[in-house]
Amino acid sequence: MAKISDTNRPSTDDSETTTNTIPLFFILLCTFCMAVLYSNILTYHLTITQLHSYGNGSAADFYNEYGVREINESRVKVTIQKHRFLSNPQKEALISVAPLGGLISWFPIAVAYNQMGFRRCFVMCAVLSLIPSMLVPLCTSARTFLLAIVIRILQGFSLASFLPYLCKMALFIPMNHIAVPTIVFTYIQMAAFFGFPIFSLLSWSNLGWHSVHYGCCIATTILFIIFMLINYDDEFKEKANREGTFNALFTYERCRSPIINLRLPYLSIYQVRKQINICSHCSCFQINLISMS
């Protein structure tokens, strides 16, 4: 594996400081893994154009539900006509709730990172991305809108994988280096630059728009299998010989990863009851607008 020695930085024995070598292949592999995780969330931004157009006046836009109501102390059979497909506000809501999942999962992922280390936490983020991504194509109607909201929020949990990824990069690259922002945020540009053309080809091909979601799941699985099988230094190989490869894959990083402090910035803002009430009322108002539309 290619490594670059940093002669300008003195090496230390502290495991929490940056090392004096930069494993290029490992950084590139982690960047590709982050790109496919981010692509799983971007898929819906394109495949939403393949869903049925809402409100075109066709008979397929509606379906009938039958029930019984009591009118003037008598039971009357009624037929309720409901929309079958998602409206435009509902589609926009499914796009906007994914970052909410990343916000919710930020602190649980931080706790998991402190307990499990980089490898296990990173693989867990991949699992949190794979399962909802496989369920997204099954929730494309108005009847399953609330379920689709929950699935998209769960899919957004993978956005918190940026936290262990950044902490791992900090072990190899000094945070005051000018190249750090370029390297750390490269996966976002990679996911958009390579993802959307591939998504378009698959979506408009004979495979259909479902293949976009399942294709990203397959790519994520392959890359993370490679990630789990990579042995990138001699210390890992020694640990694998002592404890077994499977145990070493998931325990090696815990002793080498920095601990994250969970103190929240501007904590007093979140503790004020008025601020919480305002946020809750705004959220309820937005939900009412979506349901009315």
pLDDT, tens only, 257-267: 555 655 555 45
Per-residue model confidence (pLDDT) at position 284: 59
CB atoms closer than 10 angstroms to residue 177 = 13
Q: By mean pLDDT, which of 11-20, 86-95, 233-242 is the weakest? A: 11-20
Task: Provide mean pLDDT across the span 10-21.
Answer: 46
Per-residue model confidence (pLDDT) at position 21: 65
Per-residue model confidence (pLDDT) at position 209: 83
Check residue 208 and report its DSSP letter.
-
- pLDDT band of residue 3 (cuts 50, 70, 90) is very low
Per-residue model confidence (pLDDT) at position 218: 92
Q: By mean pLDDT, which of 84-93, 150-159, 160-169, 278-287 is the weakest? A: 278-287
Q: By mean pLDDT, which of 141-155, 180-194, 203-217, 223-237 is the weakest? A: 223-237
Query: For the range 243-252, what are the long-range contacts, defined as Cβ-Cβ under 8 Å and sequence gap of 24 or more?
Result: 249/119, 250/116, 250/117, 250/119, 250/120, 250/123, 251/117, 252/117, 252/119
Q: How many CA atoms lie within 13 A of 196 on its CB side?
A: 10
- CATH superfamily placement of domain 21-52+85-262: MFS general substrate transporter like domains (1.20.1250.20)
Across the chain, mean pLDDT equals 73
User: Which DSSP string do the residues of 76-92 spell out, in sequence order?
Assistant: EEEEEEEE-B--HHHHH
Per-residue model confidence (pLDDT) at position 151: 87
Crossing angle (nearest 10°) for helices 24-47 and 118-135: 20
Q: Is the pLDDT of residue 82 over 80?
A: no
Q: Is the pLDDT of residue 281 over 70?
A: no
